[in-house]
Structure 1
Amino acid sequence: MERSVIVENLLAKVAELWDIAQGWLLSPAAWSQFALLVVAYVAALFVAKKLRPLLNRLLTPAADAETYLARARRFVAMFLPLLLPLLAYAFIGIGETATRAMFGSGAVIAFGKRVFLFIAVRILVKEIINDPVMKVLGRYILVPIAGLYALGILDEVMAYLDATVVPLGNLSFSVLFAIRFVLVAGAIFWFGRWSNDQSSQFIKSQDEMRPAMRELAAKTIEIAIFGVAFLLVMNIMGISLTSLAVLTGVIGVGLGFGLQKIASNFISGVILLLEGQATVGDYVELDGGEAGTIIKMTARATILETYDGRWIVVPNEDFITTRVVNYSDSGSANRYEADFSVSYDTDINRVPAIIEAAVAKHPGVLDKPFPPDCELRGFGDSGVDFSVEFWVEGIDDGKNKFLSDVLFLIWNALKDEGIQIPYPHRVVELKTPLPTS
């Protein structure tokens, strides 16, 4: 029954639109308004063609400019594709005023204004909005709304959607309320994310702050922004915050049971950021064998990148409850050892000075806290065993080949001094003589 009523209303609306179209086709006032629409569009096309190059020059900063003014100019330049439909909309508005003064009617030209507004919305969604979520909302909600507005049936559709109630247990809401909620929430949270990105970039550019403090400040601002966005959405949509008390209680119970690990990791992440014992850029190794450079610290976990480019997601709790070795905390130096052997025919008293001088030539080897130190380690099966200790800034990773470079220096220094590097020799004793032919 309800479906037949909808069909009847739709057919009646179509018949009404057909009558309006016939009236426009037979009315001299309507034809004059069509002519004004064409004139307004041509004028907008001409003005936009002249203004577009000028605006491009004014709103396009240098490629390497990162000031606030440069960012603002780039942001405004994003909306240049809307220039033509908005100019046409403005010129048609001027023509509408003149038409109503002359003919007492401006229905055709008002329809033209709504069409150009629809074109502007479509360009906004298709060419300007880049965020995937906002693009989906624009494509499936904003563009249809603009289309209904252009046809002049938006009020009827909104009234129908407002009368359509969706029951949900003890709660019920209209379809129109749901659409408004999605649009408002999407717009506010998109603005919140944009604000968070801008504030994070500003905080991370403050080099005088410790990296851990920068991360903590960025996370605090992120939580504050999205918290305010949530409260703002609730307030705009008329949802009482007291009605969330039950939901808060459910979340509290969940934290006590299934979500305690998430809460523990979140608190551990805050402690890590406050203490600064491990921060972005540090190379760390955990008791569980996970090792890599910290590239990101989130509310739940810390992401490590290994030498081979793999990412390891480590819960923040592991940094608090287990032993963590930090090889690059606050730019501290690290000590490495390079083992080698020399022949038993060598005057081993000469070896330490030769090796220490050779290793000290490496540009990455430090004099402090200690210069290179060559030590005798033992007498092996094939030769005399030595080891040289040296200090470097950073770690021996994929881009820093400290140990490999030092071994090359040792090899060349020993070769230059005529010192042999031994290799295993084996003596084979035959119990029976070899057969003679």
Structure 2
Amino acid sequence: MDWDLSAQPPIVQKMADIALQGYEIALGWLLSPAAWTQFALLIVAYLAAVVLARRIRPTLLRLFTPPADSASFLARMRRWLLLTVPLLLPVLAYVFAAIGEQVTRSAFGTGTVIAFGKGLFLFLAARILVRDILTDPFLKLLGRYVLLPVVALYAVGLLDPLTERLNATMISLGNISFSVMTLLRGVIVGALLFWFGRWSNDQSAAYISKQEEMRPATRQLAAKAAELLIFGFAFILLMNILGVPLTSLAVLGGAIGVGLGFGLQKIASNYISGVILLLEGQATVGDYVELDSGQAGTIVKTTARAMILETFDGRWIVVPNEDFITTRIINYSDQGSANRLEVAFSVSYDTDINLIPDIVAKAVATHPGVLSKPEEPDVELRGFGDSGIDFCVEFWVSGIDDGKNKYASDVLFLIWNVLKEHNIEIPYPHRVVELRNAPAAE
């Protein structure tokens, strides 16, 4: 074709040149035996993949389908593999196309057409992976905006030229220079590494929390140590991938040391105090503690810097870990340890007080929260009051008398009922008023 486009705008001339080059390439493919051979091999590769996938698919479905009621690790792994069965067809087609490419390159010295078809099969596999297999929102987002564009560029043969261009484009920040490709690779790999670190941390924390033979404080310490190791390893691996020598971090370490010496003393103290608390087990999640200031609550969360206490009215108190080391803390240990409570009551002076200890102790012992060990309920005579005889019942319970537990109130109800059953009067104050210099009654 010989068209005179000299009078047309430059952009039109450029587009015409591109169209002409495409036409010549397409014409060369149509007239080339190598191109026809590659087209034929692509069709054969696809048909062979279809036939083989139909034969293998039932076996894979039977192999990867676990029992419906199974929840073991192997069962979860089989369910995940079951989701990958739709990848069978495009993966087999890609493998057969790769074999065909080697044949055509050996026979004709070229394999452009079949390489494009191979990339197309790979793109279909990536699309199925992102659309049907990945369930995590972050991985699905990464697959949609990173994996699919990269595979599409690979399929059309533009990935290598684009990579070279990005490697050649440099960004300078002071004395530091790096390529755009290094920046993109660092962002993508860093996101994947820290996602994997988060997933690994969740799995390890779930596994550690199931180890009932370990003390709660030991489980928390093990979980925090695993978290530190996982994310520390991810950071070191990312630095190696980016080509940043670890020796260059010495300056950063020195700066952190200076910061700890001046402005971060409290943070370092709280962090070390938190480690000591976990090692000694003095306070852990679930314990009910009372601070030196009089505030009290249940520990609901431990962090590197502080303990989080929740009061019975739903408020949260953030207490620095250092306070648990340097101040007086009363730990009521609402984790199954026993606490002794006492409830006072009075009876009338007309009562046979020898009956009181036995009937009240038996009544209090019927409460489901009252323990028989270390001691059964005990009734003591405390004194002779103005209006009645004062007694007190002591009993042991597991927990504290607040929040969901109403031990004192329940015991008072039991005492009231048992005294009424035995016709024992609970006294109330009586006053005799004497009027002096009052007129005599007629």
Q: TM-score range by the shorter chain?
A: 0.7 to 0.9
The corresponding residue for 1:3 is: none
Once the 2 structures are TM-superposed, how far is the Cα of residue 135 of structure 1 from its aligned partner? 4.3
**How far off is 1:333 after superposition?**
0.8
2:223 and 2:17 map into 1 onto residues whose CA distance is: 54
Identify the match of residue 160 of structure 1 among 162, 165, 169: 165
Structure 1: stretches of 5+ with no match in the other structure: 1-6, 431-437
Q: Deviations over 1:371-413 (max 9, x none)?
A: 1122344566765543321101233455544334333322322
Equivalent runs, 1:232-251 vs 2, <5 Å:
232-251=237-256
2:91 is equivalent to residue 86 of structure 1: yes
Letter in 2 for 1:152: G
State how far apart, in whole Å, the 2-side matches of 1:224 and 1:87 are: 39
Specify the SS of the correspondent of 1:350: helix
Tell me if structure 1 keeps the 8 A contact 2:335–2:399: no
Shift of residue 245 of structure 1?
Answer: 1.9
What's the CA shift for 1:234?
Answer: 1.7
Deviates more, 1:38-47 or 1:292-301: 38-47
Q: Work out whether 1:375 is the aligned partner of 2:380.
A: yes
* 1:118 aligned onto 2:118: no
8 Å CA contact 2:334, 2:400 repeated in 1: no
Indicate yes or no: 2:141 matched with 1:142.
Answer: no
Amino acid corresponding to residue 240 of structure 1 in structure 2: P
Q: Indicate how the Cα distance of structure 1 residues 45 and 308 shifts in structure 2: closer, same or farther if over 3 A, else same.
A: farther
- Residue 325 of structure 2: which of 320, 325, 330 is its match? 320
The aligned runs of 1:32-431 (5 Å cut-off) are 37=42, 40-41=45-46, 44=49, 48=53, 51=56, 54-62=59-67, 65=70, 67-77=72-82, 79-97=84-102, 105-307=110-312, 312-328=317-333, 331-377=336-382, 384-396=389-401, 398-421=403-426
Query: Once the 2 structures are TM-superposed, how far is the Cα of residue 331 of structure 1 from its aligned partner?
Result: 3.6
Paired amino acid for 1:324:
I
Structure 2: how far apart are the matches of 1:309 and 1:60? 46
Q: TM-score, with normalisation over the residues of structure 2? A: 0.79
Letter in structure 2 aligned against 1:144: P
Q: Distance in 1 between matches of 2:16 and 2:202?
A: 50
CA distance in structure 2 between the aligned counterparts of 1:132 and 1:385, rounded to whole angstroms: 67
- In the superposition, relative to structure 1, how do residues 100 and 333 fare at CA in structure 2: closer, same or farther (>3 Å)? same
Structure 1 SS opposite 2:299: strand
**CA 1:59–1:159 in 2, change beyond 3 Å: closer, same or farther?**
same
SS of alignment partner, residue 375 of structure 1: strand
> 2:5 matched to which residue of 1?
none
C-alpha distance in structure 2 between counterparts of 1:78 and 1:297, whole Å = 38
Percent of residue pairs identical: 66
Which has the greater radius of gyration? 2
Structure 1 counterpart SS, 2:244: coil
Label 1:378 to 1:248 Cα distance change in 2 as closer, same or farther (>3 A).
same
Shift of 1:361: 2.0
C-alpha separation in 1, matches of 2:110 and 2:270: 67
Tell me the amino acid that sits aligned with residue 255 of structure 1.
Answer: L
Cα distance in structure 1, aligned partners of 2:134 and 2:259:
37
Give a deviation string over 1:150-187, Cα, whole Å, max 9, x none. Answer: 22111121122112211212212111010111222233
Aligned residues of 1:286 and 1:325 also touching (Cα < 8 A): yes
Structure 1 residues 420 and 241: alpha-carbon distance in aligned structure 2, compared to 1, 3 A threshold:
same
- In structure 1, what is the Cα distance between the partners aligned to 2:317 and 2:80? 36
| Gap runs ≥5 in structure 2 | 1-10, 436-442
CA distance in 2, matches of 1:236, 1:179: 12
| Residue-by-residue CA offset, 1:318-364 (whole Å, 9 max, x unaligned) | 22222222222774211122344444544344222211111112233
The answer to whether the Cα contact below 8 Å between 2:218 and 2:279 also exists between their aligned partners in 1 is yes
What is the one-letter code of the residue matched to 1:261?
K
